[in-house]
Structures are given as structure tokens and as C-alpha cells.
Amino acid sequence: MKTIFLQAFVAIFTLSITVSVKAQKKRAAYKKTQNVSKASSDMLSMLQGRWSSLDDKKTFFHIEGNQQIDIYGRDILDTATVNFYDECPNRINAGDEKRKSGRYLTVQLKPDDFYCYSVEKISSQQLVLMYLPKGSILRYKKVPTKKLDNNNPLEEKED
């Protein structure tokens, strides 16, 4: 009788721990998503300006409106359109809703050429993206600008 009671107790205890661990993992995943969402209801506004890679000092990008300009050193590499989605899209259509926030950031170079990133962290000074599907982490910091030339938003004016 003691053996049956002990086995039942161990089974119930193990089950309660398993359920508790699964619930904690779900809460952590939900909380992470909520933190990104709560960071800003308008991520696009937070992205405006110039960002510098923490891993490669020559890599920058500049966001103005929903346009992204990719820069390496002093060379402009590409100009693209950015948008946000709740899921990483398989395809981007011209009629897709233009959004200011979402878990996934897309950078579209041409109609069928785009990159998808998971927004891991966003603030007014820091940005952490995960490039999908590879999983590479990309870290950026906001670059303060004093005065920008209206004709070329990438060059500072001489006073």
C-alpha cells in the first residue's frame, strides 16, 4: 500500500513540475513578444535616423520614412522599403498593409527580393535583429547626427 501511494505521489509531483515548466516557457515566450510590442507601438518612428553596426564599424543604414539606405563606408549599397509583419512573409504583395510595428521587419529591395528579420530588441538607442532564416544576430546603435544636409541625408554639413 505504501508503495502504491509513493508511486502515485511521485507521478503527480512529476506531472505538476512538467506542467509548471511548460507554463513558464510559454509565459517567457509571450512576455518576450509583449516586451517588443510594448517597447513602442510605433517601431518605425524609433528606427528613423542613422544606425551603426556594433560588429562592423563600416556598416550603417539610414531610415527615412519607410525607406532604408544601406551604407558601407562611404558607399551607398542599396535603397529598400521597410515594413512590419506579425509573421515573416513568404511573399510580399504591393497591396500589403503598411505597418509601423510588428514582430518581423522586412527590407524589400525589389518586388520579389526581400530580407526578413525578427525584432529581438528595439529602443531609441539600440536595435537587435535576428536575420531569418539563418539566425544571425545583428546589433546596432543609433548614431547621433548634428546637422544633416537636406540634399544628402548621409553627409553632415560643414559649419
DSSP assignment letter at 1: -
Assess if residue 34 is contained within a domain.
yes
What is the predicted pLDDT for the residue at 138? Answer: 98
What is the predicted pLDDT for the residue at 31? Answer: 45
> Are 112 and 80 found together in one domain?
yes
> Are 82 and 48 found together in one domain?
yes
Domain enclosing residue 97, as ranges: 43-143
How many domains, the chain?
2
Q: Which residues of the chain have pLDDT under 70?
A: 1-40, 146-159
DSSP structure string for 67-99 = EEEEEETTEEEEEEEEEEESS--SS--TTS---
Q: Say if strands 104-110 and 75-85 run parallel, antiparallel, or are unpaired.
A: antiparallel
Distance CA 156, CA 159 (A): 9
Q: Are 51 and 82 in contact (CB under 8 A)?
A: no
